[in-house]
Structure 1
Amino acid sequence: MTAVRLRRVNRRLVEGLRQDLADLYVESCVTDPGKEYRSPSREDFLNRLTGDTRRPGFAMVIAETDGLVGCAFGFPVRGDGFWWIGFEGALSRSIEQLTESSSVFAITNILVRPHPQVLGQDVARRLQERVLTDHQASLGTTLVDQADRRALEAHRSWGWQDIGEIWRPTGHTMFRVLVLPLGERAVARLEGLTHHAWTRWPG
């Protein structure tokens, strides 16, 4: 198996990779026949990518062998707490403090070209850890459509923890809020927050 290399790319390079990234998105989001959930379209993905690249602090890391096999990208969460608007219930004080200290990074997409299971998990873990480490973030966060059970289970296998629901009225969608603590201190601060959220997943 060819070794997977990680590389950080800037906005200019992302522009040149747009179609390759869209191909990667389509291949990584194959919907199982008969399932109710349908992933957003290629065009929707490209529109979201354009919006993300315009955000301050945008960053992307890609994984390559002889071609593109994965990517993770996102942006720092602002200390004003805007990211958490629409969160159902009370946000934990630990997460509020990490947000106020600009220690939270939103990873809006992790994409991995279909591989044998272990390799796919390893690439995803390396990508998400590299993005967070590059930004010296203590906590990663992401939003996953609660109807997308496949993506939710994939993120859980990569170490993400569910802390509840958030409503985004612009997309008229309820999302699961996932977090990924990085480092022993962040893990300790968030210990015990996620058990109840996992038990409330829809069956």
Structure 2
Amino acid sequence: MTAQPEQRQQRKPRAGEPSTMDAVRFRRVSRWLAQGLGGELADLYIDSRGASAAEEYRGRSRLDFLNRLTGDIRRPGFAMVIAETDDLVGCAFGFPVGRDGFWWLGFEGALPQSIEQLTVSGGVFAITDLLVRPHPQDRDVVRRLQEGLLSDHQASLGATLVDPDDHPTLASLRSWGWLDVGEVWRPAGPTMFRALVFPLGERTAARLTGLAREARTRWPG
């Protein structure tokens, strides 16, 4: 998952002037269309990382992204929402987290009870990538992408795993309302990821009360 962390001042449209968001269209994309958009999505991935990261990781990261996209497209329940004007502005995709809790395999310590309950009830959706090209209202684009993807699947909690060294992405997710909840160790490597969740709606946020405070204590950076 990658995003541009830079914060921007958003200019409000003058009276009678159309909002920037009016020009952005959001639509759901089938797995077959997602396959056909692979090249454009990879360009979006590189652009969303910013100029310096694009130069440093253009070859390897582009290939890694395409491999990850191909794997996710094959998963049951795969879904994607894109934002576009004349070109792609952003996209979010992922798949439902199984009720068996396999997604959380390798979680360090005890999984918070509220998250476990939401998982068992089928209310968690894994957003494996959330991309946004630098845009005057990119925060609004991100909000509509992630909330739309969760709402479409009647999920009340988004979940994702991030490389702990990917500081720009972690900073962006936190600024968009995601919460650190722990560490997940995967057997291949072994590799450690930071687990983050995004509560959709006030009721879900209330169920996760205390996680944000605990996260700031455990990971202040």
- Do both proteins adopt the same fold according to a TM-score greater than 0.5, normalized to the shorter chain? yes
Among candidates 20, 40, 50, match of residue 70 of structure 2: 50
Aligned counterparts of 1:67 and 1:115: Cα–Cα separation in 2 = 12
Match of residue 123 from structure 1 = 141
For residues 110-168 of structure 1, the C-alpha deviation after alignment (integer angstroms, 9 at most, x for no partner) is 0001224xx11111111000000000001110111111110001001111111111112
For residues 70-95 of structure 1, the C-alpha deviation after alignment (integer angstroms, 9 at most, x for no partner) is 00000000000100011111111111
Q: Is the 8 A contact 1:87 1:165 kept in 2?
A: yes
CA RMSD between the two structures: 1.8
Equivalent AA in structure 1 for residue 67 of structure 2: N
Once the two structures are aligned, what percentage of the paired residues are identical?
68
Give SS of 2:115's match. Answer: helix
Match of residue 170 from structure 1 = 188
2:197 corresponds to 1:182: no
Match of residue 17 from structure 1 = 37
Among candidates 147, 150, 153, match of residue 132 of structure 1: 150
Q: Is the 8 A contact 1:121 1:157 kept in 2?
A: no
Give the C-alpha shift of residue 55 in structure 1: 0.5
Q: Is the 8 A contact 1:25 1:111 kept in 2?
A: yes
Give SS of 2:37's match. Answer: helix
Matches within 5 A, 1:1-203: 1=20, 3-30=23-50, 32=52, 41-116=61-136, 119-170=137-188, 172-201=190-219, 203=221
Greater relative contact order (Cα 8 A, min sep 6): structure 1 or 2? 2
Alignment CA distance shift 1:49-1:153 (3 Å): same
For residues 27-66 of structure 1, the C-alpha deviation after alignment (integer angstroms, 9 at most, x for no partner) is 1123647xxx969610110000000011110000000011
Q: Which moved more, 1:180-189 or 1:15-24?
A: 180-189
Aligned counterparts of 1:45 and 1:54: Cα–Cα separation in 2 = 15
Q: Which moved more, 1:47-56 or 1:192-201?
A: 192-201
Aligned length: 198
Q: Which entry has the higher C-alpha Rg, 1 or 2?
A: 2
